[in-house]
Amino acid sequence: MTQTKHVKGIYSLFNARWYDPFRTVWGSIVSKKAEKDFLTNLKKEIKPQTRILELGCGSGINIGRLQHTLFKQYTALDFSEEMLDRAKKHYTKIPNLILKHQDITRVDHLHYDIIISTWVLSHLEKPADIINKWYSQLAPGGSIYLIFLTKPKWYINLWFYPFA
């Protein structure tokens, strides 16, 4: 099975209904401080003219966190229909939000002011190459905000074992 099929398979399980409860536990046990710092710094940088791109938005936790912040445009991409459906269910009414089905390893012309991607890199086959590609396509003076696990793959697999 290819990496892409495997990842899509995980997020299609039970129509991705497992993800939000899992994310709450993960966020409070594994990454509480990282998530807090991420959000604090991100909010400081977002201005009404900021164009945001989220890569691997999943069910839209970051959209929810920024829904009351003023921005120019928020484009959120994911290749899991099930995860996107969950995001659409909650957040379609946000003005200037575009939710799009797309493989984030194949994106080009990313002229955004801020790119964010949380808990996605471990799913990519060559994360460093992909980050360099995203970075080279940022708007001048733009920023990238990433949250990812620096622990070994077995640690991640342990968490995902019940779904594998």
Of 38, 91, 119, 134, the one binding ligand SAM (CB under 6 A) is: 119
Closest approach of Cβ 74 to ligand SAM, in Å? Answer: 13
> In terms of CB distance, is 51 or 123 closer to ligand SAM?
123
- Contact region with ligand SAM (CB under 6 A), list: 40-48, 112-120, 138-146, 150-158: 112-120
The amino acid that residue 53 corresponds to is L
Kindly state the tokens that stand for 50: 């900021």
Of 52, 97, 99, 120, the one binding ligand SAM (CB under 6 A) is: 120
Closest approach of Cβ 141 to ligand SAM, in Å? Answer: 24
x/- site string to ligand SAM, residues 60 to 99, per CB under 6 A?
Answer: -x----------------xxx--x----------------
Kindly state the tokens that stand for 63: 């959209």
* Burial annotation 89-121 (CB, 10 A radius, 16+ → b, else e): eebeebeebebeeeebbebeebebbbbbbbbbb
Q: What angle do CA 104, 105, 106 make, to 5 degrees?
A: 90
